[in-house]
Structure 1
Amino acid sequence: MELCVIEGDGIGREVIPAAVEVLKHVAPDVIIRPMEAGWGYFQKHKTPLPDETIQVARECKAILFGAVSSPAYPVEGYFSPIVRLRRTLQAFANLRPAQHLPVPTSREGVDMLIVRENTEDLYIGHEHTEDEGQTGIAEKVITRDATERVTRLTYELVRRIGRKKVTIVHKANVLSQSDGLFRRVALEIAANYPEIITDELYVDTAAYWMVKDPNRFDVILTPNLYGDILSDMAAAWGGGMGLAPSLSLGENIALAEPVHGSAPDIAGKGIANPTASMLSVAMLLRLYWNRIEAADKIEQAVRKTLSEGDYTVDIYTEGAISTEDFTKRVCSHLS
């Protein structure tokens, strides 16, 4: 097995090596192939995602991606490398779990999985301005094919991992042509899985319940934009963004990545939380490589480290430990 490792920018260059170190303890046979992408690479080479990186990602069929620092203003030639990579590889289903962890910022009982369609919606990037820059217009695209495949993957995954309920989240009462299509197709596919409970919520109602009672959710299935927002909300109940892993799946492709950003304000200080990267590797092992025992070992080692009060500064400032020390303590539980 091979793993294409892209550290990216900022703290990606700190947390991804930590995750790779943990991976080597439980799966030493995995061959690591480091590649480049991101804003820093763009500034030197005028592309944020070189063809060589895409080629190696395709060859490995498994990718661990760190974080990128994208400017909030248009830069000629620049695009989000992670969004482009997901679409290029057709990693169409983004899985974002939110589970209780033994940290003060996590909520007891929370255990949900958010699945978002990962290749279309407003994130296709079809934008333009009119009226001499006074009007901005973006296209929202929802297709039957993309909705069918992400829904099938969701229900097959629910069946495989033993979850019981899927909540389809949309805004079909306002966006009848786009979200309406997503709703209709998702419910059509859901009818083939009668043993799994299916319900639906408008996205604003789902946001309300995410704040009021997150324990009501088991699995959420939703288009790209809503999933991006709801999964970040859910991350708060799991303890914070530094603890939130993700895995994007496609046909014979998997892309693991922590959901936090590049955090340039703390980059290089050695204080970033590598938990999300480590748990993303565990998701890769469990759900793509089917190496359940190795995934269990990583998750248990992370939980034990946290339960002993070994926190990075984002969780608890007093007595906080460094990225390196946190990694060493996780690895000590794997030895």
Structure 2
Amino acid sequence: MTQPHATRSGETIPATLIPGDGIGPEIVDSVVEILDALGAPFVWDRQLAGMAALQETGDPLPLKTLDSIRRTGLALKGPLTTPVGGGFKSINVTLRQEFELYANLRPARTLIPGGRFDNIDIVLVRENLEGFYAAMEHYMPIGHDPKAVAISSGFNTRTECRRIVRYAFDYALRNGRKKVTIVHKANILKALTGLFLDVGREVAAEYEGRIAMNDRIVDACAMQLVLDPWQYDVIVTTNLFGDILSDLIAGLIGGLGMAPGANIGTDCAIFEAVHGSAPDIAGRGVANPLALLLAAEIMLQHVGRGDLANRLSAAINETVLVAGIRTRDLGGDADTAGLTAAIRQRVA
């Protein structure tokens, strides 16, 4: 499995930077400004993807961008818009498949207290390549209706189940976590997710005495996340369930504007905000850059610069929690530039 890259202070690290669409360029500029003030080691290679790339090159995911990521093995990207129609496949899905980014890491922790849910600190690990999101789909005609029946057939492999569960347990060990919960639907999808549960139990046995393990049926997990989320520490689950539960967990901490994401592979890692491109507020200077900034924090941890990640985390907490400087979506009155300047001042 992929381990964080250890780097020395003063060593520079090439990384691909994709501004993205909508509010993407604004929040990417904000994050880069803060990272520069922090003294982050990244040397950026700016590339296009999404609608911006389509307009300039005719391709939403140009070969030049793929070559850059392949060369650096590291990328920070703003939200992307996949063009509607024209046979264009989801850009995010394409990136995950192209670079075999098998683990989707979505940590969620309370940054602003006082909501219905407080002191949330949950990490969801989602399998990124298989399940129903890799489904073979087709229609079956009946009579005069060519789409009378829709059929979808997903798959899980023992190899991939083992890899993602082991990633979750190793992550728990590295980060001082106590428990991993395997989430499944093995009571109904006995083969598809039964395999995931069986392999999960096998892997968990290797960590006995170091990391606790339990399992939950996905619908019970969803209910418990609303009633008593504090019982969860690290959750590992399949592709579709992970997509749904990660958004639910983001809701516990204030929404997708606070949700970072990392897509991890053996030779490559891409870090991103979970939210979309929000074209309705693009160019107005009011976008919240925190989700992407928190993704950059994970990126620093990934390259072995935990010292800088800790400084960034402290600056975010001091700005948002202590000083109360927040964008409008978080109940404040700061604009993107104001929040950026406040955090930059605290990391410099």
TM range (shorter): over 0.9
- Name the SS of the counterpart of 1:126 in structure 2: strand
Aligned equivalent of 2:224, options 206, 209, 213 = 209
Structure-2 residue corresponding to 1:151: 165
Say which is worse superposed, 27-36 or 267-276, in terms of deviation.
27-36
Question: How far apart, in 2, do the equivalents of 1:322 and 1:226 lie?
Answer: 35
Match of 1:14 in 2: 26
Gaps of 5+ in 2: 1-12
Match of 1:96 in 2: 106
- The corresponding residue for 2:182 is 168
Matches of residues 178-257 of structure 1 in structure 2 within 5 Å?
A: 178-194=192-208, 195-257=210-272
Q: Which amino acid aligns with 1:109?
A: N
Contact 2:250 2:256 in 1 (8 A): yes
> Which of residues 88, 95, 98 is equivalent to 1:85?
95
**1:2 pairs with one of 14, 27, 32:** 14
Gap change, CA 1:210 and 1:34, over 3 Å in 2: same
Partner of 2:260: helix, strand, or coil? coil
Is contact 1:5–1:32 with CA below 8 Å preserved after alignment?
yes
CA distance in 2, matches of 1:103, 1:215: 15
Other-structure match for 2:311 = 297
Alignment deviations for residues 127-151 of structure 1 (CA, whole Å, 9 cap, x no partner): 3333213333333111111111111
What is the letter of the counterpart of residue 22 of structure 2?
G
Task: Assess, with a 3 A threshold, how the Cα gap between structure 1 residues 46 and 134 changes in structure 2: closer, same or farther.
Answer: farther
AA partner of residue 145 (structure 1): T
CA distance, structure 2, for counterparts of residue 125 and residue 21 of structure 1: 41
Unmatched segments (≥5 aa) in structure 1: none
1:47 is aligned to 59
User: Within 1, Cα distance between the matches of 2:113 and 2:72?
Assistant: 35
| Cα distance in 2, alignment partners of residues 84 and 125 from structure 1 | 14
80-89 vs 214-223, which deviates more?
Answer: 80-89
Q: Deviations over 1:224-252 (max 9, x none)?
A: 11111111111111222111111121113
Match of 1:334 in 2: 347
Of 19, 23, 27, the residue aligned with 2:39 is 27
- Partner of 1:140, secondary structure, is strand
Q: State the partner residue of 2:7.
A: none
Checking the alignment, whether the CA contact within 8 Å between 2:15 and 2:45 is kept in structure 1 is yes
**Number of aligned residue pairs:** 330
Q: 1:275 to 1:112 in 2, by over 3 A?
A: same
What is the SS of the residue equivalent to 2:206?
coil
Distance, in Å, in 1 between the alignment partners of 2:139 and 2:53 is: 28
2:103 touches 2:265 (CA, 8 Å); kept in 1?
Answer: yes
CA RMSD across the alignment: 1.6
Q: CA deviation at 1:103?
A: 5.0
Q: Is the 8 A contact 2:23 2:283 kept in 1?
A: yes
Structure 2: how far apart are the matches of 1:139 and 1:46? 33
Which of 275, 282, 286 is the equivalent residue of 1:260? 275
1:125 positional shift: 5.3
Q: Which amino acid aligns with 2:284?
A: K
Residue 325 in structure 1 maps to residue 338 in structure 2: yes
Task: Provide the rounded CA distance (Å) in 1 between the counterparts of 2:343 and 2:116.
Answer: 19
| Separation (CA, whole Å) in 1 of partners of 2:149 and 2:38 | 53
Letter of the 1:246 counterpart: G
Offset, 1:175: 0.7
Taking the aligned partners of 1:12 and 1:192, their CA distance within structure 2 comes to 42
Bigger shift: residues 234-243 or 134-143: 134-143
Q: Cα deviations across residues 32-52 of structure 1 (Å, max 9, x unaligned)?
A: 011111134235544321111
CA contact (8 A) 2:135 2:154 kept: no
- Of the three residues 114, 118, 127, the one matched with 2:128 is 118
**Alpha-carbon contact 2:177-2:233 (below 8 Å) kept:** yes
Distance of 1:130 and 1:114 partners within structure 2: 36
User: Counterpart amino acid of 1:83?
Assistant: V
Give the deviation of 1:15 after TM superposition.
Answer: 1.0
- 1:282 pairs with one of 266, 284, 297: 297
Distance 2:72 2:126 in 1: 24
Q: Does 1:58 find its partner at 2:73?
A: no
User: 1:16: how far off?
Assistant: 1.4
Alpha-carbon distance between aligned partners in 2 of 1:133 and 1:268, rounded to the nearest angstrom: 42
